């Protein structure tokens, strides 16, 4: 692995350098048009389109097994799982569930000055879907990150889908993790056609309210399109994975190198960055990583000091941010933009990918500036419950009526006036809207 060398002269150049670093990974080609065609096909033909597209894109022409996975298949997959893998998944599921539950807020109620009450209620969606990608290997950890979090959020029905392989089936580790995590339904389908089935519904697949999870560019584009159409909520657009490691003087370069290499394992479009004011540490990283033949693109950036390193990290807004060494670790309270922050030499991102309890479905491509990692919040929404006693209506109405009439909404004004008790008077007749 060869990483480019860069220098940040001052914090003022952090944003420009962050943009240059992002450009080291080329943007993916647009698949908007073919994805739109797949969505339309599934919407029109339902199961038949999903099965045909699965045969074409996933099973290599082999006949797919039924879309829905039976519960006895899930139980058999869990029973046949390697005991050590099962034990690891159980640890991960427990920790993910505890952390996910922290994102479920208590309901709060305020009594306002005029006597009305407003309660903010936390309400989970009824039905949510977790997409688990296929590819080079199964990802049972992604099953846990999505399903366990949705269950902790209180979702009534948690659906999981994953593309089948050439044998027409989903990998047993995926099925076992789905059973362990408590998925309500599991479907053998992937790609844009799976997103379409989840959004529109088919003869076999009932539509959902939210779709989360990583996937290919086609999957992410499909999620974007069905979300833009107002059909479902999504967690975000998952792009190439990245990590930025800030090293203090004397930090353990061997550990940093392992973490950069681990991130590069995600694929050739992974972006890995190391930042330090210590040129010796960067030289050691460069020498060590040049000797390994692994994918990934990135850079080694020297800064004047740790403050400039922090400025670059906040401008880059990495999916994963590591702070290694006492001085770097002291920066943690000042970090503002990161999908997940790992503090200390033992805080490898790999722990977060599996068993730390934090979620590994994180904002990518700099979206950590405004987006959050997958949490219970993605499966819940806030609803205000308003109660206005008679006395409060009488004192609130004049203010509301004045605003409504200033905006030209006469019936709004009358609606509020009608709630005000009038001594000895019947309800007045509705007045016609004033001419516009």
- Name, in order, each residue with C-beta under 8 angstroms of 34's C-beta and a sequence gap of 6 or more: 218
- Structure-token pair, residue 226: 């069905």
Would you call 53 helix, strand, or coil by DSSP? helix
Determine how many CB atoms are found less than 10 A away from the CB of residue 370.
10
How many angstroms separate the Cα of 172 from the Cα of each of 64, 193, 246, 360? 16, 22, 38, 21
Please indicate if the annotation marks 353 as binding a ligand: yes
* 114 secondary structure, DSSP code: T
Whole-number Å distance between alpha carbons of 69 and 186: 5
CA–CA distance, 142 with 149 (Å, rounded to integer): 11
Which among 122, 171, 179, 320 is annotated as catalytic?
A: 320
Angle at 301 between CA 16 and CA 314, to 5 degrees: 50
Query: Which residues, at least 6 apart from 216, have a Cβ–Cβ distance to it below 8 Å?
Result: 133, 191
DSSP, collapsed to helix, strand or coil, labels residue 290 as helix
Contact criterion met (CB below 8 Å) for 204 and 68: yes
DSSP state of 368: G
| Residue 166 designated active-site | no
252 is in an annotated binding site: no
| Residue 263 annotated in ligand binding | yes
Q: Are 6 and 300 in contact (CB under 8 A)?
A: yes
Marked catalytic residue, from 319, 360, 378, 417: 319
Residue 360 annotated as binding site: no
Would the annotation count 345 as a binding residue? no
| Residue 407 marked ligand-binding | yes
Q: What is the distance between the alpha carbons of residues 46 and 400, in angstroms, rounded to a whole number?
A: 49
Q: Is 320 a residue of the active site? A: yes
Is there a binding annotation on residue 320?
A: yes
Residue 409: count of CB within 10 angstroms of its CB:
14
Residue 111: both structure tokens together = 């009594």
Contacts of residue 302, defined as CB under 8 A and 6 or more positions apart, other chains included, come to: 5, 6, 7, 8, 275, 276, 277, 279, 282
DSSP bridge partners of 297: 271
Q: What is the largest distance, in Å, between two alpha-carbon atoms of the chain? A: 92
Assign 3-state DSSP to the chain and report helix, strand, coil percentages, each to 5. Answer: 45, 15, 40
Annotated binding residues, as ranges?
241, 263, 266, 320, 353, 407, 412
Which sequence positions are flagged as catalytic? 319-320
Annotated binding residues for Zn(2+), as ranges?
263, 266, 353, 412
């Amino acid at each position: 692995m060869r990483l480019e060398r860069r220098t940040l002269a001052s914090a003022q150049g952090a944003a420009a350098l962050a943009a240059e670093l992002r450009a080291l990974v080329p943007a993916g080609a647009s698949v908007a048009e073919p994805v739109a065609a797949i969505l339309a096909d599934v919407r029109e033909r339902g199961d038949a389109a999903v099965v045909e597209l699965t045969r074409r894109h996933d099973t290599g022409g082999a006949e797919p097994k039924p879309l829905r996975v039976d519960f006895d298949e899930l139980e058999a997959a869990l029973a046949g799982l390697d005991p050590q893998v099962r034990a690891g998944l159980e640890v991960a599921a427990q920790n993910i569930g505890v952390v996910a539950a922290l994102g479920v807020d208590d309901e709060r109620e305020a009594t306002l000055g005029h006597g009305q009450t407003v309660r903010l209620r936390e309400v989970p969606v009824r039905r949510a879907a977790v997409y688990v990608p296929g590819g080079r290997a199964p990802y049972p950890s992604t099953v846990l990150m999505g399903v366990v979090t949705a269950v902790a959020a209180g979702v009534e029905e948690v659906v999981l889908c994953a593309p089948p392989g050439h044998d027409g089936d989903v990998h047993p580790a995926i099925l076992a993790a789905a059973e362990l995590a408590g998925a309500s339904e599991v479907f053998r389908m992937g790609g844009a056609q799976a997103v379409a089935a989840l959004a529109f519904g088919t003869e076999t697949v009932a539509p959902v309210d939210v779709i989360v999870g990583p996937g290919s560019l086609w999957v992410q584009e499909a999620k974007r399109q069905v979300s833009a159409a107002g059909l479902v909520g999504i967690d975000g657009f998952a792009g190439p994975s990245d990590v930025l490691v800030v090293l203090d003087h004397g930090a353990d370069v061997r550990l940093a190198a392992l973490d950069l290499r681990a991130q590069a394992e995600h694929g050739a479009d992974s972006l890995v960055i190391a930042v330090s004011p210590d040129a010796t540490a960067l030289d050691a990283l460069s020498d060590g990583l040049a000797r390994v033949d692994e994918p990934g693109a990135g850079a080694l950036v020297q800064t004047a000091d740790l403050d400039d390193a922090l400025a670059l990290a906040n401008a880059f807004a990495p999916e994963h941010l590591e702070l290694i060494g006492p001085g770097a670790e002291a920066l943690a309270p000042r970090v503002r933009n990161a999908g997940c922050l790992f503090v200390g030499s033992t805080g490898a991102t790999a722990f977060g990918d599996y068993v730390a309890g934090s979620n590994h479905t994180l904002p990518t491509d700099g979206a950590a500036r405004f987006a959050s990692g997958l949490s219970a919040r993605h499966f819940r929404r806030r609803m205000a419950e308003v109660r206005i006693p008679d006395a409060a209506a009488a004192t609130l109405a004049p203010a509301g009526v004045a605003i409504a009439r200033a905006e030209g909404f006469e019936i709004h004004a009358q609606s509020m006036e009608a709630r005000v008790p009038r001594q000895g008077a019947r309800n007045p007749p509705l007045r016609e809207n004033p001419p516009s």
